[in-house]
Structure 1
Amino acid sequence: MEGEFIVKKAKMIIDKAYKIAEIDERVYGSFIEHLGRAVYGGLYEPGHPEADEQGFRKDVIDLVQQLNVPIVRYPGGNMVSAYNWEDGIGPKEDRPKRLELAWRVIETNEVGTNEFVDWAKKAGSEVMMAINLGTRGIDAARNIIEYTNHPSGTYWSDLRVKHGYKEPHKIKTWCLGNEMDGPWQVGQKTAYEYGRLASEAGKAMRLVDPDIELVSCGSSNTDMPTFPDWEAETLTHTYDVVDYISLHQYFGNRDDDSQNFIANGMELERFISTVTSVADYIKAKKRSKKTLMLSFDEWNVWYHSNDADKEIEPWTVAPPQLEDHYNFEDALLVGSILITFLKHADRVKMACMAQLVNVIAPIMTENMGAAWKQTIYYPYMHASVYGRGVSLKAIVDSPKFDTKDYTDVEYLDTAVVYNEEEEELTVFALNRHIEDDLHVTINVSGFEDYEIKEHIVLEHDDLKAVNTATHESVTPHRNGNAVLQDGFIEAKLSKASWHVVRLRASKTTN
């Protein structure tokens, strides 16, 4: 009948036996580059009321700890491709100021390798270190790992001891360059040039420390003319040396098409599938027993700030750059991205939201002022805190819709995490439709003694709503409507909303 309202309905089945893989906690990593106010004015601001004895902002550390970030990529990014790591060690008064070519600013080198390792420990994170394969190569690569990881008794390791760090840092994960296919990169390489250099640099690094993990540099994005040939060519050289290949992806809403924007998880699915296929092709070609994993070491929403940055005066110190102010629909897409990673937990083992503070970041600060949570902070925090365990494959029957770029987009975007040790089950769910509510029925009959612990909801009437230092308009609440009865969860997901339904075994206390 014309004008009749039809309730959209979706169904799910969750079973303990439908395992995808154990989730590597490093999929909830982040990224700090010497860019804009990420370091200076973000992590580090001597003289700030919240600064500790090293100049690190304790209010920022507290917000990072709440996110439970397991690993942080450092120091770049584009910046690393012309970075001399030696500039950032030793007495600060002796460190040189340099022209930083990637972002055309002055790098003071007040914060370097040792300071960042200290900061990471305070924040409860490990370090994913990137090396310069743009202007430098094998020699610098072997020297930095000798400095950071070798115990003592050699030039570089003894220099670290002299700088006040008797014990080695034991940095485990290393990125072999950054976006080396990009014409914006200092020292851009062809696939062959990069593959050979990365292979030899990685080989030298493993001779110094055989226990490290290495990440081969993938395409800068899916729009690169060489994608995915770049992956095929470079992995031909690096496959036997590395453990991961990197993926980078940013999404924007320049056309102000919210429905299409929120559906971008479909593009992410294609990206992961393509890179996985290429890696497996090289595995077959080499007759290798090793399966290469994926490191999504740059991802986020990024488009709000691009035009404004063109007006920045060059050769200044830590000017504001890429300070996107995120809205509610950005948070929804971030939730969808995290769901996608969990659905591919068998191959996506690491991921770094780019970046962590001020620069396209979940955390914002004012110089000498407050720190606060952007909208995207919340789905990131929920996934990191509650998404530890085994990723389960949910059987989903959802209505679908089409957008400008995508067809058959499911209303219900969902991932399920089972933590057997804690006897907890978490359902992450996103209603991607911006106009229709969605009624969801979830069969959890295999979890007989479980009960709903809480139903967290992030929703807002305005897709463009933002948070500021003085007012957080977009925040989650714990008044969700999920009900469990006779082995079935019934829940209404309001239009364009993010949900976390947590179940726990009834015999479990707390």
Structure 2
Amino acid sequence: MKATVKAHKDYTISRIDDRVYGAFLEHLGRAVYTGIYEPDHPTADADGMRGDVTELVQALNVPVVRYPGGNFVSAYNWEDGIGPREERPVRLDLAWHTSESNAVGVHEFADWCATVGTEMMLAVNLGSRGVDEARNFLEYVNHPGGSYWSDLRIKNGRKEPWNVKMWCLGNEMDGPWQVGHKDANEYGKLAANTARAMRMFDKSLELIVCGSSNSDMPSYPDWERIVLEHTYDHVDHISLHMYFANREDDTPNYLGLSHKLDRYIETVAATIKQVKAKKKSRRDVYISFDEWNVWYHSNKQDRKILDGNDGWPHAPGLLEDIYNFEDVLMVGLILNTFIRRSDVVKIACIAQLVNVIAPIMTEKGGPAWAQTIYYPYYFASVYGRGTAMQLLTSSPGYETTHAAETPYVDVSGVHNEEEGMLTFFLVNRHASASIDTEVTLEGFGDGSVVDHQVMTHPDLKAVNTATNQQEVAPRKGDGAKLAGGKLTVSLPPYSYQMVRIKL
């Protein structure tokens, strides 16, 4: 079986915004407590942050982290997380039926971001609160001094403002599960008023308005149109969320979900254009895909806590999906889609970063390790910076419930002209056949293969654990050859690969 790909130096999609490789941390389960923060851990630094987790996050080169939610933010009082720890209140979190100690707040999160080398993307509460709390939070975080909230920040130990540029106007407000759920007109008006107030403080802020929680919502895609009609002149991005599941244990159909993702992006991009035309605007609004990941493995085990049958525990194990090799392929397909849609998707956040549907897992008092999905995320984030190539791919395919023709070979290409590098990310969806793939390179000149990474496993359900951390991990490939302007590589059944060419 064969597939062909054509890549021409002049045929490009867009410069990839580095922030498409962002991540998300919510006060949910063990994402924060015993995730990034565990003051009694042997590797903890002076701030109580786990050093082993810090190292794993640093390796990912995460450009931005969204915080503090998520559903959590829709009933969150940001003031609870500032000032002396011993004076911070314990609150009940209605979103996840747990208790919140507020031991970590914006100061601790900001310090952690500085340590791991990432930017903050903060969310304001537009569920139970509104314009006033949002503007006060912004003033606390970004004003140099000489006002009530900025002086309180200085009193609390941070002299210089953080100058956070990215702000989310609430979270999933289309969802009836959300505290303060609103219809599209209610939310659109509130978001527009909040955005106006925040821009009165700083016109250069990047504001993200809530789009649909998923493309199966009954309000989709009217929600996007109505919300944007209220907010288009005041925001820069509209958020989308999507999670991926293989509930029927149907791998071919599961791996076809990337088509559904692509249509979701295409539809919202078209809606943005419609509203832009209606408003006769010269501004562009882009997509912030600020929650995405595989999520279904932990659903059954979480029911006891989420149904309120376990009281109000603090930082229990919630949404702790243990990812397998099959999920590597799905995550690779998602990232390929974002690269190919880099003209409209400018921010994306894997949800989440540690313990909660996450590429990194920890044991309290014990080790931290990379889950299987860590690796495709790592390869894309570290090596997928540059310009997305407009590839012409021809591959045999198969039918799924998502599309009449799903190609077995899925590929994205990134040209980093500054470094003189060309990188391809390839997934073979075929269960039993290797596919010999030929990539024709035009206009790039001579080059050589300098890195070839392969991920395969005979068991789709294989996982990494604390005691067997490398069961599913990349290995060096040796079959990628470049000669006469053509890259040839064989893709084993159900495999993920990265090939890098030095031009």
Fold match (TM-score > 0.5): yes
Gaps of 5+ in 1: 1-7, 506-510
Which residue, out of 440, 443, 448, partners 2:440?
443
2:91 corresponds to 1:98: yes
Q: CA deviation at 1:445?
A: 4.0
Which has the higher mean CA deviation after the structures are superposed, 175-184 or 435-444? 435-444
Equivalent residue number for residue 252 of structure 2: 259
Distance in 2 of aligned mates of 1:446 and 1:406? 33
1:135 maps onto 2:132 in alignment: no
CA distance in 1, matches of 2:465, 2:212: 35
Letter in 2 for 1:322: L
CA displacement 1:34-88 (0-9 Å, x = unmatched): 0000000100001100100010001001000111100000000000000000000
- Aligned residue for 1:192, secondary structure, equals helix
Whether the 8 Å CA contact 2:259–2:402 is kept in 1: the answer is no
Q: Aligned ranges for residues 337-376 of structure 1 at < 5 Å? A: 337-376=334-373
**Contact persistence 1:128–1:174 (CA under 8 A):** yes
1:424 matched residue in structure 2: 421
Correspondence for 1:59: 52
Q: Structure 2: how far apart are the matches of 1:53 and 1:405? A: 50
Residue 14 (structure 2) aligns with: 21
- Provide the rounded CA distance (Å) in 2 between the counterparts of 1:188 and 1:408: 38
Cα gap change, 1:402 to 1:480, in 2 (>3 Å) = farther
Partner residue, 2:492: 494
* 1:352 partner SS: strand
TM-score norm. by structure 1 comes to 0.97
TM-score by length of structure 2 reads 0.98
Displacement of 1:416: 0.5
Query: Quick check: 1:293–1:347 contact (8 Å CA) kept in 2?
Result: yes
My pick for the range that moved more, 446-455 or 320-329, is 446-455
**1:407 to partner: Cα distance:** 1.6
Contact 2:260 2:402 in 1 (8 A): no
Partner of 1:508: none
CA distance in 1, matches of 2:449, 2:100: 51
Distance 2:162 2:452 in 1: 40
Q: Distance in 2 between matches of 1:419 and 1:348?
A: 19
- Aligned residue for 2:480? 482
Matches of 2:283 and 2:404 in 1, distance apart?
35
Matches of 1:495 and 1:77 in 2, distance apart? Answer: 37
C-alpha deviation, 1:405, in angstroms: 3.7
Aligned position for 2:233: 240
Q: Does 1:220 align with 2:220?
A: no
Q: Is the 8 A contact 1:457 1:480 kept in 2?
A: no
Shift of 1:21: 0.7
Partner of 1:321: 318
1:5 maps to what in 2?
none
Match of 1:186 among 155, 179, 182: 179
1:300 maps onto 2:327 in alignment: no
For residues 100-128 of structure 1, give each alpha carbon's deviation from its aligned partner in whole angstroms, at most 9, with x where no partner exists: 11011110000001110100111110011
Match of 1:289 in 2: 282
User: What 5-or-longer segments of structure 2 have no aligned partner?
Assistant: none
How far apart in 2 are the matches of 1:239 and 1:291?
9
Note if contact 1:150-1:209 (Cα within 8 Å) is conserved in structure 2: no
Q: Secondary structure of 1:96's match?
A: coil
Q: How far apart are the structure 1 equivalents of 2:136 and 2:203? A: 15
Instruction: Letter of the 1:142 partner, please give it.
Output: R
Amino acid at match of 2:433: D
Equivalent of 2:410 in 409, 413, 420: 413
Residue equivalent to 2:380? 383
Please list the CA deviations of residues 164-214 of structure 1 after superposition, one character each: whole Å capped at 9, or x if unmatched: 111001111000000001111000001000000000011111111222100
Distance 2:445 2:311 in 1: 62
Percent sequence identity over matched residues? 56
Give the aligned partner of residue 336 of structure 1. 333
Question: Cα distance, 1:450 vs. partner?
Answer: 1.0
Give the deviation of 1:260 after TM superposition.
Answer: 0.6
Aligned structure 1 segments of 4 or more residues deviating by more than 4 angstroms: none
**How far has the Cα of 1:447 moved from its partner?**
2.2
Amino acid at match of 1:216: V
Instruction: Calculate the aligned-residue CA RMSD, in Å.
Output: 0.8
1:260–1:406 CA contact under 8 A, matched in 2: no
Distance 2:25 2:431 in 1: 33
